[in-house]
Each structure stands twice: as structure tokens, then as C-alpha cells.
Amino acid sequence: MGLQIDIQAMLANHAALAAQAPGARAAAVVKADAYGLGADKVAPALYAAGVRDFFVALAREGRAIRPLLPDDARINVLSGHMEGEDLTGLTPVLNSPAQFFRDRAMRPGQPFAIQLDTGMNRLGMEAPEWAALRDEALAAAPAFIMSHLACADEPDHPANAAQLAAFRAMTDGCNVPRSLAATGGILLGPDYHFDLVRPGVGLYGGMPFANARPVVNLSLRVIQTRDVKAGEIVGYGATWHAGRDSRIATVDAGYADGILRALSSSGAMLFAGQTACPIVGRVSMDLITVDVTDLRTVPDRLDLICPRQPIDRLADLAGTIGYEILTALGLRYQRTYL
């Protein structure tokens, strides 16, 4: 199994997204192990390219990369100050009055940020909560104030303008750096950029950044091939019957490696990144079976993710989104960084 990660393409994607918001600092979201690609490699490469602001979901993700980055790298924890967490060297993004008072009592003088809920109803202080402690919070000098857009990947969705208006109403006059836009928000235009943007999935080649350079190539080894007669079955549950005499290749990955079972008899793998070969039968824990009947010769590898079948195309076949394809990538792949 070979998972290739093109670091230079990722850095080019970051630069392209940063260029869309020239008045803002461009952070990098490296949560979920840099969307499955290896935060231990991705974060230092971004730092070397000039990134100083990083976002993770959990304190333990921040602790994992803290030793890998110089002291001037700011690592922001989106889950905020959870009880019992070690936040040494990290900046919690405080999501509630309870988190705010806990953090100020336990970490006086240490950096923190604030998240506001502008309509997504997921994380952040709602307007009345923020109004009640705004003066106290601002007096403590938060590093920034942020919110998150629910529908940024749909540019015409009315929720975008509504959340922008709510964010402005809650933060105008604060004289604190502000952040509203992740990848989709960056693409919505300058009204959404404020002082700090947070590119995430776009760095790794995912939508809604349609102009992203591909970052991931996943090539799987062919373990065995066999001839299957018309009418014979392939795989668990006898869900696929050969409609003709066929040549079937078995490759060395499955749902234990993050290849979704929804691709069973619906996805495809590619020969040399070009010729599509249907996945047949069920995706199992360690193996996938592929119809290679129409190939002149059976290769030793087939591609699941490649420029012709990027993460979002594979996600369409599986009925999901590119985020899930990326973050599901398992630990058994041999990762190569280009």
C-alpha cells in the first residue's frame, strides 16, 4: 500500500488561499492528524513556509505537535479549555462562559481566544452570553475572536450573510483580531476575511477549493488475480455475480484502512491513473476486489486516489464528502512525502 503526500502541492494550496485574503494572516488547520496526512510532517512544513498560526480540535493534538514547532508558533485548540486538560504552550479557544471562567482562574495571564456562535448552534458563546462577559473578556486581551460558517461551501446560501451580520454585530468595536473564514469562507470574498483566515480542507486538495492542486495519491498492491466464470460470485454475501467471464484482482486494503464500504460495487480503481476498473463485491476489512477484465495486462498496483479520481470524486461515489475520505485514511499505509 502506498500513500503519497505531495507537501509542495499542499504549500502551493496554502499560498493560493492566502493570496485570496491578502489583508489577513493565513493560519493552517491541522486537526485530525492534518486531515489524516500526518501532522508531524505537515505542520513543520507549513511553519517553514511562514505559517505561524495553527488550529487543532483537541489539546492532545496540540501537545503532539508543540515539540515539533518553535515557540513563536501559536497552536489554537478549538475545543477550548476542557476540565483536566494540559494546555501548556497552547491557546484554548473558549466556547462558553464556564470555559472562560475556568481558564481565567487556572491560567491567569496565559493566552486565550474566544469563539462566538453566530447561528451554527454547535460551539461558541451565544449573543446574550457574550454580552454579559464581553467587557471582562476584552479586558483580559484575547488573542482573537472567531466564529464558524455553517454553509460556506454554498456561496448563495442566506446563512452566510446572516452569520456575517451576526458576527459583525457581536464584535464591531472590540479592537481584537477577528476570524470567520475557513476554506469556504475565504472563497466567499473579502467581506468574510477579517484579520485571520483558517484554511483547512483546501490545503489538502479538497472542495470547495476547486483550483486546489492534488495532494494525495493512494496506490494499492495487487495481491492475486483469478479468472471468474460468468455467474460466479465474488466477495462476502454473494452480492456480485460475474455477468461474463472475468478477471478479478484482489488488492491489499479495505475498510480497516479507511476505504468506505459504501464503495462496494459502486466505486472504481484506476490503472496508471487513467483506465477505470470497477470495484466488485463488498469492500472487506483488508481486501478489495476489482474487475480488470478489460486491461491487456494486470498491473502490480491500482490507484484509488489520483488526479483523475481525487478525494471529492471518490467521495461522490461513496455518498459522502472529501473530508471523510481524507480523515478515514488508516495507519497501515506506508506514507511517502514528496
Q: Residue 67 is part of a domain; what is its CATH number?
A: 3.20.20.10
Q: List the beta bridge partners of residue 61.
A: none
Going by pLDDT thresholds of 50, 70 and 90, the confidence category of residue 228 is: very high
- Whether 120 and 156 map to the same domain: the answer is yes
- Whether 21 and 61 map to the same domain: the answer is yes
Residue 283: inside a domain? yes
pLDDT at site 337 = 95
Question: What domain range includes position 184?
Answer: 7-204
Residue 275: inside a domain? yes
Alpha-carbon distance 95 to 73, whole Å?
22
Residue 211: inside a domain? no
Residue 1: inside a domain? no
DSSP 3-state of 234: strand
Q: Write the pLDDT tens digit of every residue in 17-40.
A: 999 999 999 999 999 999 999 999
Q: Which of 175, 204, 233 is the last residue of a domain?
A: 204
Q: Which of 153, 181, 204 is the last residue of a domain?
A: 204
Going by pLDDT thresholds of 50, 70 and 90, the confidence category of residue 2 is: confident
> Model pTM?
0.94
Residue 2: inside a domain? no
Q: What is the mean pLDDT of residues 98-107?
A: 97
Domain count within the chain: 2
Q: Write the pLDDT tens digit of every residue in 136-177.
A: 999 999 999 999 999 999 999 999 999 999 999 999 999 999
Q: Which of 171, 204, 237 is the last residue of a domain?
A: 204
CA dihedral 45, 178, 101, 109 (to 10 degrees): 60
- Whether 100 and 163 map to the same domain: the answer is yes
Q: What is the mean pLDDT of residues 238-265?
A: 96
- Cell numbers standing for residue 138: 476584552
- First vs last Cα of the chain: how many Å apart? 16
Q: Which residues are catalytic?
A: 31, 236
Q: Which CATH number belongs to the domain containing residue 305 in this structure?
A: 2.40.37.10
